[in-house]
Structure 1
Amino acid sequence: MIVLSEDSQRTSGKDAQSMNITAGKAVAESVRTTLGPKGMDKMLVDSGGSVVVTNDGVTILKEMDIDHPAANMIVEVSETQENEVGDGTTSAVVVAGELLDQAEELIDSEIHATTIAQGYREAAEKAKDILETEAIEVSADDRDTLVEIATTAMTGKGAEGAKDHLAELVVDAVLAVEDDDGIDLDNVDVETVVGGSIDESELVEGVIVDKERVDENMPYFAEDANIALFDGAFEVKETEIDAEVNVTDPSQLQEFLDQEEEQLKEMVDQLADAGVDVVFVGDGIDDMAQHYLAQEGIIAARRAKNSDLKALARATGGRVVSNLDDLTEDDLGFAGSVTQKDIGGDERLFVEDVEDAKSVTLVVRGSTDHVVDEVERAIEDSLGVVRATLEDGKVLPGGGAPETELALQLRDFADSVGGREQLAVEAFADALEVIPRTLAENAGLDSIDSLVSLRSQHDGGDFTAGLDAYSGNVIDMENEGVVEPLRVKTQAIESATEAAVMILRIDDVIAAGDLSGGQVGDDDDDGPDMPGGGGMGGGMGGMGGMGGMGGAM
């Protein structure tokens, strides 16, 4: 009996599991060489010829054209890690891939996928408990540690040459926007400028608005400025109903024009009477209003975005008003200076020297577009980890130290787990060691020797012992200042485990339509599919379709 349509495809049992595992491992393998301070970069070229050069895991996976549904589950791991913490995306994906690899061996040994999934979940919970216990407490006042965390997040990325300088800026930015409600990184605006060196990047304690003053006769600079934020149009209001006016004399027309001018003059007088030096308007500004504003020496910018108005209100302490009749001195914001400056060939308004700026701007400079983009990605990762540290107050040593410790303790824990789940817990422990092993490989070191040294140190009770990718020695990572937030590791383990378990539990894939496909670039359409799913053609090409899927049931 034929139940499925002729175009449908079905793969079940071990074939389905093998296909999905192979796809997940291929995704993990694609970013594995980017891990660590000596990780390599990837060049991604899209169909339009745009080039991205990066070693940021989530960026690589987003830019790749991945079609395979199981492979996309691994991509989601990196996206979750990015959204929750901001860093550790590559680690999460690599661990997920290794969990699948270890599971494949267990499946070949006739261990049921459900048993493996149960063992993985138990191991993940135990791993998170161990990390919580071993984590190092950090005070929010410990600026040195915050800088070290920001520096660690940038190590091995395009910003490494100026990581010390940038780390200081990142910590200053996060501390500036922290308030009673927590830390909202939307209040840290990152502006990129092509030109100059990374060392010239700076933190503006205030807002840079991508606007110019509307009239050349307005001043370039206002000191100790009172700032009005008006979310409306600086124009004469139109009537709400259609009206027709018959003019029988030229003087009547002039009266209408004079009346419009008078209305605009009154609006400007309202600002002047309130002591306004600068006004940001959400809509347009009439030409005559621009003239009167210039006469009063008021700097004005039009069509400011809502996000800019909100940032200005937060930075200057002002309030956005929708009706100028409601404007009072209490609604005005204050800034030590408002200046129109040239930045990267564009004229922008700098609102800075604010006493307690809760909205700040990081100006990132670099010699080329590719450099600036990669530095921006490194800074965003760094902002995320500093925020996570301030919120949780706990950190872990880097250099593969947590993973080595977890592998050691989980092997002991496996002895207390009954049944075949014990084998899954041991496999989980082996999978975690992919992190120190990969760090060693990417640094050109002997991974076996490095792993043996790490295990020896941790066996002796040295939790903070990690691998120095530069010297090849096992050193105290806490003393060296190589630390990262607890949440980076716990989230990576949680996300990787959930994705691996979900993939392992799939034993039947039913696809509507023909999703099979060989490796990208195959000339023969009838050629053999890549076992267990299409390959990654052209180095960074798309993941192939669900190759190897059988015919209709």
Structure 2
Amino acid sequence: MAQQTGQSYVMREGSQVTRGFEAQTYNIMAAMAVAGAVISTLGPRGMDKMLVDSTGDISVSNDGATILRKMDIEHPAAKMIVEVAKTQDAEVGDGTTTAVVLAGELLRQAGVLTEKSVHQSSIIKGYLMAAEKALEIVKDMGVEVTEKDTAMLKKIAGTAMTGKDTENAKDFLSDLVVKSVAVTMQKDAAGKYYVERENLVFEKKKGGDVTDSKIIEGVLIDKGKVNFQMPSRLENVKVLAMDIGIEAKDTQFDAEFKIKVPGQFKQFADMEDRQIKEQVDKIAKLGVKAVFTTKAIDDLAQHYMAKYGIIGLRRLKTSDVRRVAKATGGSLVTNLDGITPADIGTAGLIEEITVGDDEMVLVSKCKDKKVTSVILRGVSEHILDEYERGIDDALHAVQNSIKDGKIVPGGAAVEAEISLRLKQYAMTVKGKEQLAIDAFASAMEVIPKALATNAGLSPIDMMIALKSKHGAKDGKNFGLNVYKGKPMDMLKEGVVEPMKLKTQAIQSATEAAIMILRIDDILAAAQTKNPAPGRR
């Protein structure tokens, strides 16, 4: 066979191929850059980030999920790290920064090993062994908690809100969160408690103080009645939730009407009016006194509804109308002709209330007592957004703790214990996997070091103090108290987190690191240029 010379090109001109160690280095550096962008936000003394989008809108936050979601990231490996944050947020609702920082540090440690000629397959195997052992350690540290332990649940909520803008009202909001969970909590088929998040909605209203926030049983709609002549308060009401409008029916196809005689236009208008009146009459005959719809309510329909003493709200969010249907025991109606008594809900009270400067409608004393609303007050939209994010984290933390029935000490106590015990475990493993397990253990130290650094403390001194405590008997619950600048028993201090937060962060970070370590080539296609306008 004749020997061929020269280079063969299998990709389009302009494509880029990065191979081997260079490709791995680029990926690791990209992952570390993402982790570096959020590491300073970690912990009670973490800093905020100012985010400016392409339109010039500014937002300030120290929430890892929010920061990464708004960052305009292009690098493929960096996007994979962002996926870690999304997974963590979807599964647990908190701990996104921990997961991303841990993934970045695992890759940095892997980069050090590859420079020492340790093959990726050995690193991956060692990381998998270390992750499995780490999860066992976390479970050993778990402390049981139940839905009845209100004091502990408040501490869980408080820990989740620490370091955010909600911290100044942490005690009040923790109490609000736990009460909200208690109202909306349900049992599943296995007898375990869970919180149906759709049953709990926060309505943000600018003005007042956060302590003016309150829980309201029922559905709160952020709109007033459509017509001032409609009643403002009704008791023992039949309720209709609709996904259709009360207006003249449009033709199915575009049509053109030619008026030849002057009276024909009036006949056409009268026909539309009759259609609208018939729809309102049909609703009134069903005994309905409150209508909530995602679509429009014609002005004439409003007039007839007011005469019948029916309150109406239009152009609502579908989620709000569904909540009304669920709370009142009705159904979401899509056709007036096919309404049955089962489609109509009931409410003990419907009233229009004033919150701040706005009118809102409250549907209360419903069949489903689990449907609840919370009015959240704050001095500005930015503060309200941060309150909402903090409360959302706290709700997830309390919910996960109740569902799994296990919590762990905070303040990086878990990471410090894992680091210590993994180093001991590494000594029992033969081969190059030992180096990977030891690197995994060192990577876990990035969390307590970041907490110390962000609080202005010496990370070296704090790690020495933490290792000393964890090396002693009954020291596994000691974490870093950044306010006092020393390790303390986090369970006694009331700094606790859901166990699932830690297990999910370890799993997500390890999987992302391994996925990136498996990549040895980057094949980037040539960028397609759009033709100039007017040219083909």
Range class of TM-score, shorter chain? 0.7 to 0.9
- Conserved 8 A contact 1:185-1:383: no
Q: Secondary structure at the match of 1:463?
A: coil
CA distance in 2, matches of 1:439, 1:510: 38
Q: Report the secondary structure of 1:462's partner residue.
A: coil
* Structure 1 residues 286 and 51: CA distance shift in structure 2, 3 A: closer
Question: Partner residue of 1:187?
Answer: 199
Higher alpha-carbon deviation: 423-432 or 60-69: 60-69
2:109 aligned with 1:102: yes
Residue type matched to 1:341 in 2?
I
Q: 2:125: which partner in 1?
A: 118
2:324 match: secondary structure:
helix
Paired residue type of 1:490: T
Deviation, structure 1 residue 376: 1.7
How far apart, CA to CA, are the structure 2 residues paired with 1:216 and 1:383? 38
Which consecutive residues of structure 2, in runs of 5 or more, have no partner in the other structure? 1-6, 189-193, 529-536
2:381 equivalent among 341, 344, 369 = 369
Task: Select 2:498's aligned residue among 461, 485, 504.
Answer: 485
**Equivalent of 1:430 in 428, 433, 442:** 442
Distance 1:177 1:511 in 2: 50
TM superposition shift of 1:245: 12
- Asked if 1:332 is matched to 2:344, the reply is yes
Partner SS for 2:38: helix
Q: Which residue of 1 aligns with 2:219?
A: 207
Are residues 261 and 464 of structure 1, via their aligned partners in 2, closer, same or farther at CA, if it must alter by over 3 Å? same
Letter in 1 for 2:399: R
Structure 1 unaligned blocks of 5 or more = 516-553
Question: Displacement of 1:463 after TM fit?
Answer: 2.1
Q: 1:75 to 1:240 in 2, by over 3 A?
A: closer
AA aligned to 2:382 is H
**Closer, same or farther: CA 238–374 of 1 in aligned 2, 3 Å:** closer
Contact 1:314 1:357 in 2 (8 A): no
Which residue matches 1:137? 144
Contact 2:259–2:265 (Cα < 8 Å) also in 1: no
State how far apart, in whole Å, the 1-side matches of 2:442 and 2:261 are.
93
Tell me how far apart the structure 2 counterparts of residues 66 and 262 of structure 1 sit (CA, whole Å): 57
Q: Residue 4 of structure 2 corresponds to which residue in structure 1?
A: none
Deviation larger for 410-419 or 287-296: 287-296
Residues 303-360 of structure 1, C-alpha deviation per residue, up to 9 Å, x if partnerless? 3333222111122222233444554555433334322234454433222344643333
CA distance in 1 between partners of 2:267 and 2:186 (Å): 53
User: Would the aligned equivalents of 2:128 and 2:510 in 1 still touch at CA under 8 Å?
Assistant: yes
2:173 aligned with 1:161: no
Measured against aligned partners, the alpha-carbon deviations of 1:126-173 in whole angstroms (never above 9, x if no partner) come to 111221232111112222222221111111001111122222222333
Deviations, residues 63-101 of structure 1 (Å, cap 9, x unaligned): 222211111111111111111111000011111111112
Specify the alignment match of 1:550 in structure 2: none
* Distance (whole Å) between structure 2 residues aligned to residue 375 and residue 323 of structure 1: 40
CA contact (8 A) 1:315 1:354 kept: yes
Q: Contact conserved, 2:82 with 2:100, CA < 8 A, in 1?
A: yes
- Which residue is equivalent to 1:385? 397
CA distance in 2, matches of 1:346, 1:90: 37
Q: Is the 8 A contact 2:329 2:367 kept in 1?
A: no
| Aligned mate of 1:84, from 66, 91, 99 | 91
> What residue is the counterpart of 1:321 in the other structure?
333
> Structure 1 506/249 Cα, relative in aligned 2: closer, same or farther at 3 Å?
closer
1:234 corresponds to: 246
* Counterpart position of 1:217: 229
Equivalent of 1:441 in 438, 453, 458: 453
1:7 corresponds to: 14
Question: Which residue in 1 is equivalent to 2:184?
Answer: 177
- The answer on 1:398 being equivalent to 2:405 is no
The percentage of aligned residue pairs carrying the same residue is 48
**Paired residue for 2:32?**
25
- The TM-score with structure 2 as length reference comes to 0.88
* Paired residue total: 514
Match of 2:483 in 1: 470
Contact 1:159 1:198 in 2 (8 A): no
SS at 1:277's partner residue? Answer: strand
Q: Is the 8 A contact 1:217 1:294 kept in 2?
A: yes
Q: Is the 8 A contact 1:314 1:358 kept in 2?
A: no
Aligned twin of 2:159: 152
SS in 2 for 1:159: helix
With over 3 angstroms needed to count, the CA separation of the structure-2 counterparts of 1:325 and 1:10, relative to structure 1, is closer
**Is 1:497 the counterpart of 2:510 in the alignment?**
yes
Match of 1:71 in 2: 78
Root-mean-square deviation (CA, aligned residues, Å) is 2.8
Whether the 8 Å CA contact 1:170–1:379 is kept in 2: the answer is: yes
